[in-house]
Amino acid sequence: MITIKKYPNRRLYDTAQSQYVNLDYIKQLIEQREEFTVIDSKTKDDITKTILLQIISESETSDGQSLLTNSLLKQLIRFYDTDMQLYVRQYLEQSLLQFIEQQDKMQGVMQNMMDSNPFSMFSKMMEKNMDMWKSSGDPKKPKE
């Protein structure tokens, strides 16, 4: 687990790497599925959610790149402070996990299709043949 400290000057410090980092670095950790927490250096509070929301907020500034539409955000806000809040959170977490699993499976299938592509197979056969020719030495040279 990586611990990142946030200092009063708003700088972030990765204690594992002993270096200052930025939000892009934290986004890379997320993309690499690294586990981390962000701790306020003064209060020792876990402020990971605040940093994650900041990353989302910055990512949502462009309508073309946005995941969260105004309609979706309004619907989510309506569930706060209701009896359904816990269920909606669990539903969203499970739905996204299943979506990611399906996406990973599809990428695996696509990779297998690309690997079994006739041109790819032909290319691999040619590479093996070239390797055999190279390993057998000069064909003009008599074998001893």
DSSP secondary structure string for all residues of 16-70: TTTEEE-HHHHHHHHHTT--EEEEETTT--B-HHHHHHHHHHHHTTSTTT-SS-H
Question: With 90 as the cut, is the pLDDT of residue 141 above it?
Answer: no
Question: What pLDDT sits at residue 38?
Answer: 98
34 pLDDT exceeds 90?
yes
Q: How remote is the C-alpha of 122 from its chain's centroid? A: 33
Task: Say yes or no to pLDDT of 137 above 70.
Answer: no
Query: Do the domain assignments include residue 139?
Result: no
Nearest Cα neighbor of 2 from 26, 92, 77 is 26
pLDDT at 66 over 80: yes
Q: Please give the average per-residue pLDDT across 88-100, as a whole number.
A: 94
Q: Which of 67, 83, 106 is the last residue of a domain?
A: 67
Q: Supply the pLDDT for residue 140.
A: 56
pLDDT at 45: 98
Same domain, 48 and 103: no
The overall average pLDDT reported for the chain is 87
Question: By residue range, what is the domain housing residue 11?
Answer: 1-67
pLDDT of residue 117: 66
5 Rama sector, left if φ>0, alpha if ψ -120 to 50, beta otherwise: beta
Of 27, 45, 67, the position where a domain reaches its end is 67
Contacts of 54 (CB under 8 A, 6+ apart): 23
**Whole-number pLDDT of residue 25:** 97
pLDDT band at 134 (very low <50, low <70, confident <90, very high): confident
Q: Is the dihedral of CA 108, 66, 35, 99 positive or negative?
A: negative
Q: Name the residue among 97, 120, 93 with its Cα closest to residue 105.
A: 97
What is the C-alpha radius of gyration for the chain, rounded to an integer number of angstroms? 26
pLDDT in the model for residue 65 = 77
pTM listed for this prediction: 0.67
Q: What whole-number distance in Å separates Cα of residue 1 and Cα of residue 30?
A: 12
Q: Are residues 56 and 77 in the same domain?
A: no
Who has greater pLDDT, 53 or 120? 53
Choosing from 40, 67, 94, the residue where a domain stops is 67
141 domain residue, yes or no: no
- Please answer whether residues 60 and 43 qualify as being in contact, where contact means their C-beta atoms are separated by less than 8 angstroms: no
